[in-house]
Structure 1
Amino acid sequence: MKFLAITLIVHRPDPVTGRQKPTHDRFREVLDNAVLAEELGFDGFGVGERHERPFISSSPTVVLSHIAALTRRIRLFTTVTTLSLLDPVRAYEDYATLDHLSGGRLDLIIGKGNGAAQRELFQVTPEDQWDRNAESYEVFRRIWRQDRVTADTRFRPPLTDAEVWPRPYQQPVRVWHGSATSKESVDLAARYGDPLFSANVTNPIEPYAELIRYYRERWEHYGHDPADIAVGAGSAGLYVARTSQEALDVYRPVFESNLAFQRKAGLPVVFETLEDFVERSSALIGSPQQVIEKVHRYHEQFGHTVLHLHADAGGLTDTRHRDSLERFQGEVAPVLRKDIPDPPFAWAPVLPAPVPAHL
């Protein structure tokens, strides 16, 4: 199993202290967390893309390029690239450049995105967002694979024998499809034979498991080998402590503050108590053994081989957050790596085959 640390770069007051860091310091924290993730042995680091409050992750390519310069091994993920909002030509240029600068360490997770504010900002409607997402991905995918592209597009000017530079480093880049609740994203992933990444954050396990089952059905419908399926899944929180009681005691103020924020913002509340949150959500809060057992329980439903964890402290002190990550990598990850297989592809740059010397 592979493990990612991810951030959506939420920028709001600390859930427990109420203090909000300056924007500059928040970005610095993201960079420090990426370096720490590599030091601790994480396999990837992801940066989201949002164009509305309370996020400041509107330019993931810029942030990931800086992280690429500070790291050497860890793979860089977009979590997610909102292709329904973007010009696929410009998106290709940005990500191809990032891929070269990182030495082929880029993986994309794409999705339509959500939130009315960012849809309005980019003049995308609920009615056309899925068509935009599918068209943008089709064009993006073709540009990455073809030197010249002709495309009769609806949502951007048509392309006629167009060249887009720079040409790719990875050939092609690996693209995952992020899915929270929609069969459209799942079907698009299955159609192209691409891996799926389930958000698996807001709700209990059932709706996510149902979508992953649907993905597997559509994968076979489109004629792909079931052995090639790769599924990733998110988690709703992380705190690994020495004992379950310590984990509950430390995490309770974080949960209660986040619950109050949800209610004040008018967001739906799915888990009313910390105990219910720990039991029925994907949050990994408890002793190392409890966390191992929970990941196994989800794996039985999902068959996932990649798991993402929160890179941000999110209300924990920096010391406790680091201790939790260290305990996860020292006591949890080795067991899960042994018990659960890796994805069915190499965790390395996807480079073209070398040309034989005699040619």
Structure 2
Amino acid sequence: MKFIAITLILHRPDPLTGARKTTHDRFREVLGNALLAEELGFDGFGVGERHERPFISSSPTVVLSHVAALTKRIRLFTAVTTLSLLDPVRAYEDYATLDHLSDGRLDLIIGKGNGAAQRDLFHVTPEDQWDRNAESYEVFRQIWRQDKVTAATRFRPALTDAEVWPRPYQRPIRVWHGSATSKESVDLAARYGDPLFSANVTHPVEPYAELIRHYRERWEHYGHDPARIAVGAGTAGICVAPTSQQALATYRPVFEANLAFFKQAGLPVVFETLEDFVERSSALIGSPEQVVEKVHRYHERFGHTALHLHADAGGLTDVQHRASLELFQSEVAPVLRRGIPDPPFAWGPVLPASPLTQESVRV
């Protein structure tokens, strides 16, 4: 099993102290968390994309380029690239450049994105967002694979023998499809034989398991080898401590502060108590043994081989957060790596059999 630390770069007051970092300090914190993830042995570090408050993750390519310059080994993920909002040509240019700068350490997780404010910002409607997402991905995918592209498009000017530069480093880049609530993203992933990444954050396991079952059914419907399926899944929070009592005591103030925030903001509350949150959500809160058992329980439903954890402290102190991640990597991750297989592909750059690039072939 592979482990990815992910941040959406949420920028709101600390749930316990009420203090909010400056934008500059919040970005520096993200970079520090990326370095910590590599230091502790995580397999990937992901940055989300949101174009509305309270997030400041509108430019994941810029953030990940800086992370690429600071790190050596860890793979870089988007979580997610909101292709329903983006021109696929411009998105390709940004990500192809980042892929070169990171020496092919980039994976994409794509999705339509969510939130009315960012839809309004980009003049995307609930009625056309899925069509936009599919069209953008199909054009993006074609550009990554072909030197010249012709595409009749609805949501951007058509392309006729268009050349887009730079040509890619990875050939092709691996693209995961983010899945939260809809069968459209699941079907798109299955159609192209791409891996799926379930959000698995807001609700109990059932709706996410149902979407993953549908993905597997559609995968076989499109004629792909079931042995090549790869599924990732998220988690709703993390606090690993030597005992369950310590984990609950450490996380309880964070949960109660977040619960109060949700209620005050009029947001839906799914889990009313910490005990219910620990039992029925995907949060990994408990002793190492409890966390291992919970991941295995979810694996029985999902068959997932990649797991994302929160890169941010999220209300824990920096000391508490680091101690939790260290305990996860020392006592949880090794057990899960032995018991759950890796995704059915190499974790390194996706490169062609020939060492020659298309540029050198043309010379």
CA displacement, residues 262-296 of structure 1 (integer Å, 9 cap, x when unaligned): 11221110000000000000000000000000000
What does 1:336-347 align with in structure 2 at a 5 Å threshold? 336-347=336-347
- Report the counterpart of residue 301 of structure 1 in structure 2: 301
Q: Does 1:249 align with 2:249?
A: yes
Q: Determine the structure 1 residue equivalent to 2:236.
A: 236
Secondary structure at the aligned position of 1:332 is classed as helix
Instruction: Give the whole-Å Cα distance in 2 for the aligned partners of 1:120 and 1:171.
Output: 34
Hey, what does 1:121 align to over in structure 2? Answer: 121
Percent of aligned pairs with the same residue? 86
Measured in 2, the distance between the counterparts of 1:103 and 1:264 equals 45
In structure 2, list runs of 5 or more residues that go unmatched. Answer: none
Q: Which amino acid aligns with 2:46?
A: G
Matched, 1:60 2:60: yes
User: Deviations along 1:43-84, whole A, 9 cap, x unmatched?
Assistant: 000000000000000000000000000000000000000000
The 5 Å alignment of 1:201-350 reads: 201-350=201-350
Q: Tell me which amino acid in the other structure corresponds to 1:198.
A: S
1:310 is matched by which residue type in structure 2? H
- Secondary structure of 1:353 counterpart: coil
Give the match's secondary structure for 1:299.
helix
In the alignment, the residues of structure 1 paired with residue 142 and residue 114 of structure 2 have an alpha-carbon distance, to the nearest angstrom, of 25
Aligned Cα root-mean-square deviation (Å): 0.9
Q: 1:172 matched to which residue of 2?
A: 172
The whole-number CA distance in structure 1 between the counterparts of 2:174 and 2:110 is 11
Letter in 1 for 2:212: I
d(CA) in 2 for partners of 1:222 and 1:41?
Answer: 36
Q: Name the counterpart of 1:191.
A: 191
Amino acid at match of 1:224: H
Distance 2:260 2:212 in 1: 31
Q: Equivalents in 2 of 1:223, 1:201: separation in Å?
A: 30
Amino acid at match of 1:237: G
Q: In the aligned structure 2, how far is the partner of 1:51 from the partner of 1:229?
A: 31
Report the AA paired with residue 90 of structure 1.
Answer: R
For residues 247 and 16 of structure 2, what CA distance do their matches in structure 1 show?
A: 16
CA distance in 2, matches of 1:339, 1:294: 13
What is the deviation of 1:355?
5.3
User: Residue 333 of structure 1 aligns to which amino acid in structure 2?
Assistant: A
SS in 2 for 1:184: helix
CA distance in 2, matches of 1:221, 1:6: 32
TM (norm. structure 2) is 0.98
The one-letter code of the counterpart of 2:2 is K
| Amino acid across the alignment from 1:85 | L
Q: Counterparts of 1:89 and 1:355 in 2: how far apart (Å)?
A: 26
Aligned partner of 2:134 in structure 1 is: 134
Q: How far apart are the structure 2 equivalents of 1:98 and 1:301?
A: 35
1:26 matches 2:26: yes
1:328 partner amino acid: F
Q: Distance in 1 between matches of 2:226 and 2:16?
A: 45
SS, match of residue 349 in structure 1:
coil
With the length of structure 1 as denominator, give the TM-score of the two structures.
Answer: 0.99
Paired AA for residue 294 in structure 1: K
TM superposition shift of 1:261: 1.1
Unaligned runs of 5+ in 1: none
SS in 2 for 1:4: strand
In structure 1, C-alpha distance between the alignment counterparts of 2:342 and 2:9, rounded to whole Å = 28
CA distance in 2, matches of 1:314, 1:88: 33
Give the 3-state SS of the residue equivalent to 2:161 in structure 1: strand
The whole-number CA distance in structure 1 between the counterparts of 2:256 and 2:209 is 27
Inter-partner Cα distance in structure 2 for 1:312 and 1:168: 31
Report the secondary structure of 2:134's partner residue.
helix
Moved over 4 A (4+): none
CA distance in 1, matches of 2:88, 2:4: 26
Q: Distance in 2 between matches of 1:59 and 1:341?
A: 33
What SS does structure 2 have at the residue aligned with 1:84? coil
Letter in 2 for 1:346: A
SS of aligned partner of 2:80: strand
- 2:45 corresponds to which letter in structure 1? F
Deviations 1:109-145, CA, capped at 9 Å, x for gaps = 0000000000000000000000000000000000000
Instruction: Establish whether residue 148 from structure 1 lines up as the match of residue 124 from structure 2.
Output: no
Q: How many residues align?
A: 357
What whole-Å deviation, never above 9, does each CA across 1:204-241 have from its counterpart, x for those lacking one?
Answer: 00000000000000000000000000000000000000
1:138 is aligned with what amino acid?
Answer: E
User: Which residue of structure 2 aligns with residue 86 of structure 1?
Assistant: 86
CA separation of 1:259 and 1:225: change in aligned 2, threshold 3 A: same
| 2:54 paired with 1:37 | no
SS of the residue corresponding to residue 72 of structure 1 reads coil
Report how far residue 354 of structure 1 moved. Answer: 2.1
